[in-house]
Amino acid sequence: MRFFHLIICILTGPLGIHRFFKGLKFSGFIFLLLTAFIVIGAIADKSDSIPKIYFSIAAVCLILFWISDFLSMLFKGVYIFEMTKKIETKIEKQDTTSEIKTKKIKMKDVKDQENNNKIFRIVAARSEEPELNMVYTEVGKNDYEVFGAFSGICGGGGLFYQNTDNEMFVSDDFYEFSTSLSDEDLENTFQKLEKLRAEFENYDDEGNLIGLSEKGLLFIKKQQEDENGLVEVYSEGASEDFIYDVQDEWNLGYYKD
The number of folded domains in the chain is 2
Residue 73 and residue 125 share a domain: no
Residue 171 predicted with pLDDT over 70: yes
Residue 131 and residue 234 share a domain: yes
Do residues 200 and 130 lie in contact, with contact meaning Cβ atoms separated by under 8 Å? yes
| Cβ-proximal residues to 142 (8 Å cutoff; 6+ apart), any chain | none
User: Looking at residue 127, what is its pLDDT?
Assistant: 86
Residue 37 predicted with pLDDT over 50: yes
Q: What is the reported pTM? A: 0.57
User: Looking at residue 12, what is its pLDDT?
Assistant: 67
Q: Is residue 216 part of a domain?
A: yes
Residue 134 and residue 26 share a domain: no
First to last CA, the chain: 63
Q: Which residue, 54, 80, 106, sits at the end of a domain? A: 80
Q: Which residue, 80, 97, 131, sits at the end of a domain? A: 80
CA distances 242 to 2, 149, 167, Å, are 65, 11, 11
- Could you give the CA distance from residue 56 to residue 196 in angstroms, rounded to a whole number? 71
Residue 167 predicted with pLDDT over 70: yes
Do residues 8 and 21 lie in contact, with contact meaning Cβ atoms separated by under 8 Å? yes
Average pLDDT value for residue range 16-34: 65
Residue 91 predicted with pLDDT over 70: no
Average pLDDT value for residue range 72-91: 56
Residue 131 and residue 235 share a domain: yes
Residue 181 and residue 68 share a domain: no
Average pLDDT value for residue range 65-77: 66
Closest CA to 148 of 231, 213, 245, 223: 245
Range of the domain at 25: 2-80
- What are the beta bridge partners of residue 157? 151
Residue 164 and residue 242 share a domain: yes
Among 61-70, 73-82, 211-220, whose mean pLDDT is lowest? 73-82
Residue of higher predicted confidence among 93 and 192: 192
Residue 166 and residue 56 share a domain: no
Residue of higher predicted confidence among 143 and 94: 143
Residue of higher predicted confidence among 31 and 171: 171
Highest average pLDDT, of 31-35, 57-61, 84-88, 211-215, comes from: 211-215
pLDDT confidence bin for 39, thresholds 50/70/90: confident
- Could you give the CA distance from residue 144 to residue 165 in angstroms, rounded to a whole number? 9
Residue 140 and residue 236 share a domain: yes
